Amino acid sequence: MIDEDGKQLGIMPPYDALRMARSGGLDLVEVAPTANPPVCRIINYGKYLYQLSKRQHEARKHQKSIELKEVKFRPRTSEHDFEVKRNHIVKFLQEGSKVKATIMFRGREMAHRNIGMRMMERLIEEVSEFSQVEARPRQEGPNLTAILAPKKAAGKGAAAAPRPARIAPAAPVGAKSAAASPAAAAPSRSDSSGSSGG
């Protein structure tokens, strides 16, 4: 038995402990029911609950809430749209949010999930400077999803400046072969990125 000032009163029958608490206009609360014998305390229970809720409210106020943003792709997302969405992901990560990257498949696209997986792996690799993979890519119904969390050390103010310079070079893959042999580069390929031979 412990009184309101935290002083131990020793072992006593529950009836006596309850009578003592009520005589002071307080409550008898069992604080350690598994102890042998169980430990009870005389307190103002209403005041205790109020202080507890106040402490919890203060703790919530100082907590930084982390948002989960979702960025959606399709297996046939164009190169330009891919870069725009990737830059959005980098921005969200730099702001401290988690990002759920989703590749949505429809109809016959479900037969080509390997395209979506390659796209997801490329995305993870290109944003690896700013993120760590919290949930590996996995199929959820018709969608392929992965969750990216911001890196712990990504709180640098200068991180925004190198973003375009470091990410953009990953897109032009065919540029290396053209640079290696300028004579071999055909004029029809150098002026258009989307030559499908239509």
pLDDT of residue 80: 92
Same domain, 72 and 152: yes
**Angle at CA of residue 81, ends 99 and 109, nearest 5°:** 85
Q: What is the pLDDT of residues 129-152, one digit of tens each?
A: 888 888 888 888 888 899 999 887
Same domain, 45 and 103: no
Same domain, 37 and 78: no
Same domain, 84 and 156: yes
Sequence-distant (≥ 6) Cβ neighbours of residue 86 within 8 angstroms: 123, 126, 127, 167
Same domain, 24 and 90: no
Same domain, 55 and 74: no
Residue 176: inside a domain, yes or no?
no
Instruction: Among 42, 62, 82, identify where a domain stops.
Output: 62
Same domain, 41 and 99: no
Report the number of distinct structural domains present in the chain: 2
Residue 190: inside a domain, yes or no?
no
- The helix/strand/coil state of 190 is helix
CATH number at residue 41: 3.10.20.80
Same domain, 92 and 138: yes
Residue 114: inside a domain, yes or no?
yes
Residue 148: which of 172, 183, 121, 176 has the closest Cα?
121
Distance CA 161, CA 180 (A): 29
Instruction: State which residues of the chain have pLDDT below 70.
Output: 63-65, 153-198
Residue 186: inside a domain, yes or no?
no
**Can you read off the two tokens belonging to residue 24?**
């002071």
pLDDT of residue 153: 56
Torsion of CA 70, 119, 169, 125, to 10 degrees: 70
Same domain, 51 and 78: no
Give the domain range for residue 115: 68-170
Report if pTM > 0.75. Answer: no
pLDDT of residue 64: 67
Same domain, 156 and 132: yes
Same domain, 111 and 125: yes
Same domain, 135 and 92: yes
Residue 75: inside a domain, yes or no?
yes
* H-helix segments, the chain: 14-23, 45-62, 79-94, 113-126, 163-167, 175-180, 187-190
Find tokens 């006596």 and name the residue. 16
